[in-house]
Amino acid sequence: MHDQALPKGGDGTLVERVMAVVSQRIAGRTLAPGAKLPSLRSFAETMGVSKSTVVEAYDRLAAEGVIQARRGSGFYVAGHAPPFSVADLGPRLERAVDPFWVSRQSLDAGEGVLKPGCGWLPADWLPEEGMRRALRALSRAPAETLADYGTPLGLAPLRQVLSRRMALHSVDAAPDQILLTESGTQALDLVCRFLVEPGDAVLVDDPCYFNFHALLRAHRVRIVSVPYTPNGPDTALFEQVLAQERPRLYITNSALHNPTGASLSPVVAHRVLKLAEQFGLTIVEDDIFADFEPEPAPRLAAFDGLDRVVQIGSFSKSLSASVRCGYIAARPGWIEGLIDHKIAASFGTGRLAAELVLSVLRDGSYRKYMEGLRARLARAMSESATRLKAIGITPWIEPRGGMFLWCALPEGLDAAVIARQLLAEDIVLAPGNVYSLSQSASRFLRFNVAQSNDPRLFSALNRAMAAAARRGAAAQIALA
Amino acid sequence: MHDQALPKGGDGTLVERVMAVVSQRIAGRTLAPGAKLPSLRSFAETMGVSKSTVVEAYDRLAAEGVIQARRGSGFYVAGHAPPFSVADLGPRLERAVDPFWVSRQSLDAGEGVLKPGCGWLPADWLPEEGMRRALRALSRAPAETLADYGTPLGLAPLRQVLSRRMALHSVDAAPDQILLTESGTQALDLVCRFLVEPGDAVLVDDPCYFNFHALLRAHRVRIVSVPYTPNGPDTALFEQVLAQERPRLYITNSALHNPTGASLSPVVAHRVLKLAEQFGLTIVEDDIFADFEPEPAPRLAAFDGLDRVVQIGSFSKSLSASVRCGYIAARPGWIEGLIDHKIAASFGTGRLAAELVLSVLRDGSYRKYMEGLRARLARAMSESATRLKAIGITPWIEPRGGMFLWCALPEGLDAAVIARQLLAEDIVLAPGNVYSLSQSASRFLRFNVAQSNDPRLFSALNRAMAAAARRGAAAQIALA
């Protein structure tokens, strides 16, 4: 209130000049919508005018609807702050590389639309028969199973199965250290609610799963990133960003990283954990692609013993995205606090979804299904790589497994331009900058090899790339 | 940094005195965990000592683990802020009247435990056969139904059914204004993510559904409350709190209010909406008990046309809490922003849960089931009221319907004391202060009439009340 003097001289009466000062503060957001204005007396003092001048200025601003009088409480800036749009929060991206846009396109795609950019398997690649058997079994379950909220931790036999599955990756998590959630995304949301505050720095890989950006924006944190290499995050830059930005959390996939398909090497895993300890960092290891691994890669949670590492996961990729069920495995002392957040945010978890997942995982056919799926994905991976290379699109690495192939377009081409063009032909691509906080992946695309077997895709890509190259050449000639 | 002078004289060297100042600031939270310490030079200047004295003080504090050196970046207070515990955020409540504790007790209760304090129907009161038929039908559904994420808005035919159901309450909501969520709780969570910011004031009824407190604490807002009368909120105090606190949101149940069972009168509804308009308030109307109404009561969303009112709901009470599905109906301009938050927080909604709900709602037997349920609840309400009155427990009002009876104990008795005593006999009660922000409902208990039909409950209540009265009398004699 003391840094703003009444504009000297100029047009208008004293009242109008006081009104102008208030209006400027509102326009410049020094006074936000809903904020209380200074009292008549203090504002009169600050401005060096009489109280009656401020009274008249406030009254006229109220008559104009700029501010509002509240009985016995003073004057307030009219209106409320606009709703909190997560889409508007980040850097202004063109819609084609906006993470929300890509999610929406993929989720909304009707029949006949090709979705090589989407992040899940086609329905007929999933354990359909196992699901049908599970639904039939559930139709005969006790009434409580069909009716009641689950317990706060979630279905005990499923937590036992998860504990055994984690042991296969050398992660030692007792069933009581595992909390079921509505989804892998909700698992991450609860961890963020518990561990970060608005304004904290949170570290992600560049590139990383685009919804990490969306979720973190919704938590009003400062997102920072570290370049991802074929062996994990660049450890020199990792150390640098830890020292400079002091992030509270690091969110990553250790095995079959999304979108690159890379996995953490033991050396990098060890270095990351050491730096985490040095800088007091907590790591969230999203292990959603565990079932797709041909042979287990190092897990941060295994080396660390769930001390600084929290592991999350779900069944949306390997079993069904229609049945929502995820989990958090964390140090025992954190489980109670996480349960409170879960009850606050969603009360119970779906007992029915957990029963279905348990039923499918226990079904004798599941292991065989997963073996078949891995083999099928390996073939699709190899075929997609061959076909993409044939039209000049180069895989960044050959992933050990999973469904993603992170590929570079030829020099000079922009993936967002190609994506926009293919969308007009009902093909949803995933352009690289959707995954990149630094917006440095404009030449990259993520292909889902299970959704990339239609020849239409490759011919459309070929045409779009040729057209873009022609436009580029024409532009160069025009410049010459 | 300028308000703290080096302690004069006393024991210890200069270095030790500099160390003491830093330690005090850390203990007093002037320097929070993770915070950067002042640079060597500026701190030396502030303290009026040489730089080498500060170097030694910092080095010794680092050796003690109190602070940490970061290469090229200076010194930081060791450790991180502790995790964000929602349970610790509110006023320190004894565990027996802590909302989290009551939720946990109810959700965790094993077989043989009576739960008159819980907020849902027993499994055998719910449409069990309809659910079994729905599960069998779903086991024959197309593969996509069993495998895929839902669309961003959620299953279209279910949104159409919801739109028609709302029309019965004169709420005009097009299917495109309805967004499916994982639960009613998640619906409220998304509305809060979209409409409130940390530090905003949010208004609730006193008493109100206790999980509103928990969820709002997790959003780091300032919770304010207004007393609830048998006709809705006290409008004079409602106006006063709007003028004084300028809440952004008001969260309420218009029909069959939880925990009181009261409903909004048309006069109060009109006044609340007028005040909402005057003060720029948005209202969230949680309509979760819609199906339990014998005849429709006024809905704020009906009068308002979903302008300042957002309606939310779910099927946990009338259909199944095991199948998670809720919804938000809001003004068209807000749906896109809410979808973005939904994708960020949970990616898709469970298509399977939505299909199950749709299937049960469409089942020819559902309407008849609900009629039967309402009649059964009316009988249970009347029986419970009679039995409670017989032991001196007085219903606050006779609710028009629903499952809750809000009752007062005789003068001088504390519901939390009775609740603690009955828990030892495996009976979970819901003491009034769980629902009361002002902690002014210590004499009240909420009874779920569908869970209050066991004679054990009334005899245990009778004994506990008599014992408490004896203790009270003994205490009075001792004081006399």
If asked whether residues A160 and A239 sit together in one domain, one would say: yes
Helices (H) and strands (E) in chain B, counts: 18, 13
Q: How many Å lie between the alpha carbon of A4 and the closest alpha carbon of chain B?
A: 25
If asked whether residues B197 and B220 sit together in one domain, one would say: yes
Vertex B249 angle, CA B346 and B96, to 5°: 75
Band of pLDDT at residue A431, cut at 50, 70 and 90: very high
Is A358 a residue whose pLDDT tops 80?
yes
If asked whether residues B212 and B330 sit together in one domain, one would say: yes
Q: Look at A83 and B183 and tell me if their CB atoms are within 8 Å.
A: no
ipTM of the complex: 0.83
Of B333, B364, B395, the position where a domain reaches its end is B364
If asked whether residues A340 and A412 sit together in one domain, one would say: no
Band of pLDDT at residue B133, cut at 50, 70 and 90: very high
Q: What is the dihedral of CA A315, A317, A323, A325, to 10 degrees?
A: 30
Q: Look at B136 and A139 and tell me if their CB atoms are within 8 Å.
A: yes
If asked whether residues A171 and A69 sit together in one domain, one would say: no
Of B364, B382, B417, the position where a domain reaches its end is B364
If asked whether residues A181 and A226 sit together in one domain, one would say: yes
User: What pLDDT shows up at residue B203?
Assistant: 98
- Per-residue DSSP letter, B286: E
User: What pLDDT shows up at residue B3?
Assistant: 40
If asked whether residues A247 and A212 sit together in one domain, one would say: yes
Partner B contacted by A90 (CB < 8 A):
no
Is A11 a residue whose pLDDT tops 60?
no
Q: Which of residues 178-237 of B touch A (CB under 8 A)?
A: 182-183, 185-186, 189, 193-198, 211, 214-215, 217-218, 220
User: What pLDDT shows up at residue A379?
Assistant: 97
pLDDT tens by residue, B389-416 = 999 999 999 999 999 999 999 999 999 9
Q: Look at A83 and B195 and tell me if their CB atoms are within 8 Å.
A: yes
If asked whether residues B291 and B161 sit together in one domain, one would say: yes
The tally of domains found in chain B comes to 3
Q: Residue A9 domain-assigned?
A: no
Band of pLDDT at residue B7, cut at 50, 70 and 90: very low
Band of pLDDT at residue A35, cut at 50, 70 and 90: confident
Partner B contacted by A333 (CB < 8 A):
no
Q: Look at A149 and B316 and tell me if their CB atoms are within 8 Å.
A: yes
* CATH number, position A321: 3.40.640.10
Share of chain A above pLDDT 90, in %: 68
> What is the SS3 assignment for chain A?
CCCCCCCCCCCCCHHHHHHHHHHHHHHCCCCCCCCECCCHHHHHHHHCCCHHHHHHHHHHHHHCCCEEEECCCEEEECCCCCCCCHHHHCCCCCHHHCHHHHHHHHHHCCCCCECCCCCCCCHHHCCHHHHHHHHHHHCCCCHHHHHCCCCCCCCHHHHHHHHHHHHHCCCCCCHHHEEEECCHHHHHHHHHHHHCCCCCEEEEEECCCHHHHHHHHHCCCEEEEEEEECCEECHHHHHHHHHHHCCCEEEECCCCCCCCCCCCCHHHHHHHHHHHHHHCCEEEEECCCHHHCCCCCCCHHHHHCCCCEEEEEECCCCCCCCCCCEEEECCHHHHHHHHHHHHHHHCCCCHHHHHHHHHHHHCCCHHHHHHHHHHHHHHHHHHHHHHHHHCCCEECCCCCCCCEEEEECCCCCCHHHHHHHHHCCCECCCEHHHHCCCCCCCCEEEEEHHHCCCHHHHHHHHHHHHHHHHHHHHHHHHHC
If asked whether residues B135 and B280 sit together in one domain, one would say: yes
User: Which residues in chain B have their CB less than 8 angstroms from residue A145's CB?
Assistant: 322
Of B349, B364, B379, the position where a domain reaches its end is B364
If asked whether residues B105 and B171 sit together in one domain, one would say: no
Q: How many Å lie between the alpha carbon of B11 and the closest alpha carbon of chain A?
A: 34
User: What pLDDT shows up at residue B155?
Assistant: 95
Partner A contacted by B348 (CB < 8 A):
yes
If asked whether residues B290 and B222 sit together in one domain, one would say: yes
Is A9 a residue whose pLDDT tops 50?
no
Query: What are the Cα distances from residue B260, in Å, to B36, B225, B375, B393, B401?
Result: 51, 15, 19, 15, 11
Q: Residue A215 domain-assigned?
A: yes
Q: Residue A457 domain-assigned?
A: yes
Q: Look at A148 and B321 and tell me if their CB atoms are within 8 Å.
A: yes
Q: Which of residues 136-175 of A touch B (CB under 8 A)?
A: 136, 138-140, 142-152
* Most confident option among A75-84, B87-96, B333-342, B445-454: B445-454
Nearest CB to B128; choose among A143, A183, A214: A143
Question: Residue A466, Cβ neighbours under 10 Å: how many?
Answer: 12
Is A115 a residue whose pLDDT tops 80?
yes
Tell me which residue has tokens 């909501």. B173
Q: Look at B123 and A344 and tell me if their CB atoms are within 8 Å.
A: no
Q: Which of residues 95-114 of A touch B (CB under 8 A)?
A: 100, 103-104, 107-108
Partner B contacted by A344 (CB < 8 A):
yes
If asked whether residues A388 and A334 sit together in one domain, one would say: no
Domain holding A211, by residue range, is: 128-364
Chain A and chain B share a number of CB contacts under 8 A equal to 289
User: Which residues in chain B have their CB less than 8 angstroms from residue A103's CB?
Assistant: 152, 343, 347
pLDDT tens by residue, B271-292 = 999 999 999 999 999 999 999 9
